[in-house]
Amino acid sequence: MGDKYLQQFLDETTWYNHIVLGYLLPTNLWYPLPHFLQTWLRNYLAGTLLYLISGFLWCFYIYYLKRNVYVPKDAIPTNKAMLLQIYVAMKAMPWYCALPSLSEYMIENGWTKCYDRVGEVGWLPHLLYLSLYLVFVEFGIYWMHRELHDIKPLYKYLHATHHIYNKQNTLSPFAGLAFHPVDGILQAVPHVIALFIIPTHFTTHVGLLFLEAIWTANIHDCIHGKLWPVMGAGYHTIHHTTYRHNYGHYTIWMDWMLGTLRDPSDEEGKKVT
């Protein structure tokens, strides 16, 4: 890649930094920082705000405005449980944000297959590449998540931090990012590996990484959306109670193909009988 082409990526990340940091912090606190640290700080502040604001709004809606509609009163997690989840997530947040900062650094230096404008490849190839990217991420996260269970030291020292939330009344949208930091990074790594294999639109990559915060909040709210083939909260709640099923991320396809799928509808049928 030529220097002029790489400058497009640098200009775009600089623009993102100025938008977020310029609104949230006095200029003298962030402008003198090296570009990489500006990017990390932008990701940290944006990720923290996204996690806290979306989590609070989500919980306020399902636990207060719609109390007993989506979640029975005895299944609502305590404030203490949710505050603990926030504490665990916020301890890990600085480390989580190192991953998108690193991926942006690699993109800016031309080490990946990223492209900056859809017009550079055309809409049809762009949609094809996006589809391949999502399939790769689904495959990668499934296996990463499954190995975090199957390899005992990884589970004991990393993933068990998240699986203390193993009942409906301990799960909440705030549990979505309550991981050991290395665990959270490992499960997001397929997003970055894909950049070296599949041509990827830069802004789409950044957006999908931040979408993880919304998605993980959704699948920990215990509300079964029943939208096939989406791996919704009904499936993921079963994962937290059985530990051996529903490792998938966005969809149920990997679990279906590899025999680890357990359907919430089947569980409801068992309760009725």
Tell me what pLDDT residue 272 has. 42
pLDDT at 70 over 90: no
What percent of the chain shows pLDDT beyond 90? Answer: 78
Q: Which residue has the higher pLDDT, 210 or 258?
A: 258
pLDDT higher than threshold 70 for residue 202:
yes
Q: Per-residue pLDDT tens for 243-264?
A: 899 999 999 999 999 999 999 8
- Cα separations (Å) of 180 from 85, 148, 162, 199? 11, 12, 7, 31
Determine which of 3-12, 16-25, 85-94 has the lowest per-residue pLDDT on average: 3-12
pTM more than 0.75: yes
Average pLDDT in the chain: 92
Nearest to 191, CA basis, from 259, 91, 107: 107
Q: How many residues does the chain have?
A: 273
CB burial string 228-258: b at 16+ within 10 A, e below? eebbbbbbbbbbbeeeebbbbbbbbbbbeee
DSSP letter string over 222-260?
------TTB--HHHHHHHHHHSSS---SSBSHHHHHHT-
Mean pLDDT score, 22-33: 96
Q: Is the pLDDT of residue 211 over 50?
A: yes
Tell me the angle at which helices 79-96 and 35-60 cross, rounded to the nearest 10 degrees.
160
The string of pLDDT tens digits covering residues 126-173 is 999 999 999 999 999 999 999 999 999 999 999 999 999 888 888 999
Q: Rounded to a whole number, what is the largest CA-CA distance in the chain?
A: 67
Res 16 pLDDT > 60: yes
pLDDT of residue 273: 43
Buried b (16+ CB within 10 A) or exposed e, 73-111: eeebbeeebbebbbebbeebbeebbebbbebbbebbeee
Segment holding 155, helix H or strand E: helix 152-157
pLDDT at 271: 53
Inter-residue contact 190 to 197 (CB < 8 Å): no
Cis peptide before 190 (omega within 30 of 0): no
| Cα–Cα distance, 221 to 171 (Å, whole number) | 7
The upper half-sphere exposure of residue 92, i.e. CA atoms within 13 Å in the direction of its Cβ, equals 26
Above 90 in pLDDT, residue 54? yes
d(CA 265, CA 257): 18
